[in-house]
Amino acid sequence: MSVTASDPVSLSETAGRPTPGLLRRLPSSPVAVVGLALVLFWALVALVAPLLPLQPPNAQDYMAMAHPGSTAKHWLGVDPLGRDLLSRIVWGARTVLAVAPLAVVAAYTVGATMGLLSGYYRGWVDAVISRAGDVILSFPIVILYVILIANIGPSALNIVVAVVVASAPGISRIVRGLVMSLMHQEFVAAAYLRRESDVFVMLVELLPNCRAPLITDFCLRLGYTIITIGTLGFLGLGLPPPNPDWGGMVKQATSMITVFPHMALYPTIALVSLILGFNLLADGLTELSQAD
Amino acid sequence: MALLSIRDLRVEYTTVRGTVAAIPEFSLDIDAGESFGLVGESGCGKSTLIMAIMGYMGRNGAVTRGQILFEGQDIARLGAEPLRRIRGSRIAIVYQEPGTALNPSMTVGRQLMEVPLAHDAKIGRGAARDCAAQALADVHLPDPASVMRRYPHQLSGGQKQRVVIAMALLANPALLLLDEPTTGLDVTVEAAVLDLLNELREKYATALLYISHNLGVIAQVCERIGVMYAGKMVEQAPAAALFRNPRHPYTRGLLASLPRPGADKRSAPLVPIPGVVPAAGRAPPSCGFLTRCPHALAGVCDAGEISLLPAAPEHTVRCARWAELPPVRSPMAGARANLPASDDAPVVQALDLSRAFPVGRRMLLANDRLEITAQRGHVLAIVGESGSGKSTFAKVLAGLDAATSGSLVVLGQEVAGRPVRRRDAKLVAAVQMVFQQPDGTLNPSHPVGWPLARALRKFGIARGGDVEARVTALLEMVRLPPSLRHALPRQLSGGQKQRIAIARAFAGNPQILVADEPVSALDVSVQAAVINLLLAIQAEHRTTMVFISHDLGLVRYLADEVVVMYLGQVMEAGSVAALFEPPYHPYTEALLSAAPVPDPEVRTKRIRLEGEIPSPLAVPPGCRFATRCPRRIGRICDDTPPPLRGAAPGHVIHCHIPLDDLRAVAPVFRHAPAA
């Protein structure tokens, strides 16, 4: 039998052209580009905050309190305690962009582990993990946060802990579903035929294939977490004062909101633009991954 | 005047990468009552043509030139409302997936009644119900009244396809479009559906446009055949003429990649077509087949557009060199070489091997007391319809599943209850597997060289710098360029992925290769190349191959021994030569007769099985096959498990019918050249 001359194969005859990774194709989605621009703007602001010629965020200007509106010295005016709003918004970006990603990454570590274990082992492992998650998910989310923070006290670390507890079950559900469908794929069987360990199959064969849906979810969750941090700040459960915190700034301004609406408006605009950025980015990534 | 006349049709799609002509230029005439078969591999534009006729091209597709004349009216440029009136009443369509064609939340009866109600305003509900019941009776569904009350999920795949055909015929269309209507059905069900189509066509005088990649199926249904390649008709002829005297190199290539009845791997090897079908709009403009054609001649074939040339009465071909091509080599009835010697002990020996799955409080016996033996260096094929337990046995053998009772000795070790984790590394490396789905077989996140390197390291074949060299050697073994190792699976074609899967299986120098339908998802020309490769490597390494398949033509071509399974049990086992000649087990006989043969000159004995495969949770207590057996001899078949009859050394049949009666039947295949 001869199979030599009849079947030369080369890459040039492959059926489809390679599609580059999701992130590299990002520029082709206008929605994603706008979202990314908003996020990058705030990331840049947070990064260069110490270099900007701003008032210290916690310095009180008693003279400005008489005219808290926009002046040459305080471009966006001052808050009820006479602190420069622009400076506090800029430094507040630093807080939110440090705490939110940290919290979401931590939530992903816990949630993905839970999802991998329950999707892979099924049976009682799945039952325990999924039911525990269901209990957490059955709480109204704000109440859950209030219960947690009220008990362990407001601090950056405790915000992270609260976000992990509240978000991990949702992440676990996504990963569990993906893993369960991937388990039927033949490359998993091929891995068993190489005597790969369970941990290897989970981390090297399964987890990388959950990437695309998780990137989108990651961006969305960052947006939600920023809302959460804002809400906690508004409820007085955010970062302890005098740290600049967008949600806390809105809360402090509420008593004067009819007289000096700018004190609540500017931090709200900051909050909304950052959340919008992450949501648009997530939308754009979904659109791109569906175009495959 | 032709019923359907497609003239110089051009269909274009707008994509992000620009405009693509999925069909550059296409013409076709179908007369009233005629059955026309259109063949070609996936990506040749067959389904695009159907979509263009139905006007379902989506927002980015359009007919940019030419006409689709149906009963004299150009339906390509008809408004939405007049087109809707033609669709469903004058032109009906049957798709590949019967499951998705039916609405899961409506009873079959209500869906069928919608057709007369929608197309005839005056008809009452009672009359519509009568029409629907009559249509179900016409497609031979037993007890139409009960089928009407059922939901689609309560029907089997074959029954659903009958319902879809009934629905298509309800409006008494002049033209019925069939897009791979039997792909995905078992052969016995497929044969019955094809019979039904032939019968209905005579009864209603409906013209058929039958689209398939399967030449065997087309040969059974169609009077005239067109071959489509790269969006163009490359050859068109009456069915008998096309098979007897194919003129276009692509048609010849398609036929040469199929195992002919009677041929085997030693007498007439398959000849694959090099390369793959070009992506839509990327074929050379002069002759689309140019880059893959063994007869291409510079200056002639690439000089300019080639038109359809008349080669014989009613036989046209789009080839500049058709007259110079050598005559077709008829399959040689060459001497069958002897089997490779095997004095060794069998490498696989299953004895009373069972795999039971608990379902509620009952037991599903996927494998029931199997007795299967494989010799070193031989190819053992396991055939049977879906649900026969072939894949379960494959998994137990490879260690992806464990048997619940019985014995399975592999290379001298008892492994029945030992899945991979409980086998030693050497044994795991020795039994490897090639899977069915090219798209699922490789991890999309890792480059294709990765599983090869990983397997080499895990099996201790190579370490350090040797790994790279071994990966190169493996890729060369499956005739892929070594540079391919850095490519991601999505950059590879289906055939290339299966080659990587073969390389991966051979990384640990296996002694037994389990191949579970390794080519059933590939196009015919690619199938031939992968089969040739698999057989070459298998013969060179003297690997034992357990080949799971439902394709009897392929099994006859490549197997040394065959096991026929039905509902978890072995019905018949023997050498390939013995199995394809009488005496047959009645189930084997039915399977053989159902297999579509790509040659109208081969007459097949017509045996059709009644009913559906019984539920594996309620198996008949006697012979498993008794409920569908056309040769059932009496009560004994229903109550008593059949005895084992040794027809010849190594050839066993489990049947109550005496051996002499089994011997007395005529062979299933008979060569009868047309006058």
Chain B residue numbers touching A288 (CB-CB < 8 A): none
A/B interface, count of CB pairs below 8 Å: 116
Task: Count H helices and E strands in chain B, helices first.
Answer: 22, 26
Into how many domains does chain A fold?
Answer: 1
Q: Per the CB < 8 Å rule, is B445 touching A211?
A: yes
Question: For residue A232, is it within any domain?
Answer: yes
Both tokens of A259, joined, read: 């007289």
pLDDT at B336 over 70: no
Chain B residue numbers touching A189 (CB-CB < 8 A): 400, 433, 435
Chain A residue numbers touching B493 (CB-CB < 8 A): 13-15
pLDDT at B673 over 90: no
Q: Per the CB < 8 Å rule, is A14 touching B433?
A: no
Both tokens of A128, joined, read: 């325990």
pLDDT at B611 over 90: no
The three state secondary structure string of B522-563 is CCHHHHHHHHHHHHHHHHHHCCEEEEEECCHHHHHHHCCEEE
Picking from A2, A29, A193 by the largest number of B CB atoms within 10 A of its own CB, the best residue to mutate is A193
Give which of B553, B561, B564, B492 is closest to B520, Cα–Cα: B553
Q: Per the CB < 8 Å rule, is B491 touching A1?
A: no
Distance in Å, alpha carbon of A169 to nearest chain B alpha carbon: 25
Distance of alpha carbon B196 from alpha carbon B73, whole angstroms: 30
List pLDDT tens digits, range B446-468: 999 999 999 999 999 988 889 99
Question: For residue A167, is it within any domain?
Answer: yes
List pLDDT tens digits, range B399-433: 999 999 999 999 999 999 999 999 999 999 999 99
Contact status, residue B33 vs residue B223, Cβ threshold 8 Å: no
Contact status, residue B204 vs residue B166, Cβ threshold 8 Å: no
Q: Per the CB < 8 Å rule, is A186 touching B440?
A: yes
Distance in Å, alpha carbon of B487 to nearest chain A alpha carbon: 9
**DSSP one-letter code for A4:** T
Chain B residue numbers touching A179 (CB-CB < 8 A): none
Residue type, B167: M
Question: For residue A79, is it within any domain?
Answer: yes
List pLDDT tens digits, range B460-501: 998 888 999 999 999 999 999 999 999 999 888 889 999 999
Residue A185: closest C-alpha in chain B: B440
Contact status, residue B566 vs residue B388, Cβ threshold 8 Å: yes
Q: Per the CB < 8 Å rule, is A16 touching B272?
A: no
Q: Point out the residue among A195, A211, A291 whose CB comes nearest to the CB of B458.
A: A195
Question: For residue A2, is it within any domain?
Answer: no
List pLDDT tens digits, range B109-119: 999 999 888 88
Section B305-325 average pLDDT: 89
Q: Compute CA distances B177 → A2, B62, B93, whole Å.
A: 40, 20, 5
Residue type, B104: P
- Whether the full predicted model's pTM is greater than 0.95, yes or no, is no
Residue B274: closest C-alpha in chain A: A7
Residues of A with CB under 8 A from a CB of B: 1-3, 6-11, 13-19, 28, 184-187, 189-190, 192-196, 205, 208-209, 211, 291
pLDDT at B590 over 50: yes
User: In sequence order, what E strands does A198-256 have?
Assistant: none
Sign of CA dihedral B617, B618, B623, B626: negative
Q: What percent of chain B has pLDDT over 70?
A: 97
Angle between helices B466-477 and B494-506 (to 10 degrees): 130
Section B140-165 average pLDDT: 88
Section B337-364 average pLDDT: 81
CATH for A143:
1.10.3720.10
Give the pLDDT confidence score for residue B344 in this predicted structure.
65
Chain B residue numbers touching A291 (CB-CB < 8 A): 16
Please indicate if any CB of chain A lies within 8 Å of the CB of B533: yes
Q: Do β-strands B232-238 and B224-229 pair in parallel, antiparallel, or remain unpaired?
A: antiparallel
Chain B residue numbers touching A1 (CB-CB < 8 A): 265, 269, 532, 535-536, 539
Residue range(s) defining the domain that contains residue A194: 8-290
Q: Per the CB < 8 Å rule, is A11 touching B491?
A: yes
Section B7-13 average pLDDT: 92
**Phi, psi values for residue B34, rounded to 5°:** -85, 150
Give the pLDDT confidence score for residue B543 in this predicted structure.
93
Chain B residues 635-654 within an 8 A CB cutoff of chain A: none
b vs e for A32-59, b when ≥16 Cβ sit within 10 Å of the residue's Cβ? bebbbebbeebbebbeebeeeebbebee
pLDDT at B663 over 50: yes
Please indicate if any CB of chain A lies within 8 Å of the CB of B4: no
Q: Per the CB < 8 Å rule, is B428 touching A195?
A: yes
Please indicate if any CB of chain A lies within 8 Å of the CB of B445: yes
Q: Is the ipTM of this complex over 0.90?
A: no
Distance in Å, alpha carbon of B269 to nearest chain A alpha carbon: 7
- Tallying the residues shown for chain A, one arrives at 292
Section B300-309 average pLDDT: 87
pLDDT at B302 over 90: no
Q: Compute CA distances A82 → A60, A85, A233, A236, B660, whole Å.
A: 5, 9, 19, 19, 109
Both tokens of B503, joined, read: 């390389």
Question: CA gyration radius for chain B?
Answer: 26
Chain A residue numbers touching B479 (CB-CB < 8 A): 3, 7-9
pLDDT at B83 over 70: yes
Both tokens of A191, joined, read: 């891995």
Distance of alpha carbon B388 from alpha carbon B73, whole angstroms: 50
**Phi, psi values for residue B654, rounded to 5°:** -95, 95
The DSSP secondary structure of B280-343, one letter per residue, reads TT-S-SS-TTGGG-TT--TTTTTSSPPPPEEEETTEEE--TTGGGSPPPPPPP-PPPPPPPP--
Give pLDDT < 70 ranges for chain A: 1-22, 291-292
Picking from A7, A178, A183 by the largest number of B CB atoms within 10 A of its own CB, the best residue to mutate is A7
**DSSP one-letter code for A9:** -
Question: For residue A204, is it within any domain?
Answer: yes
Give the pLDDT confidence score for residue B298 in this predicted structure.
86
Q: What is the mean pLDDT of chain B?
A: 89
- pLDDT band of B85, cuts 50, 70, 90: confident
Question: For residue A1, is it within any domain?
Answer: no
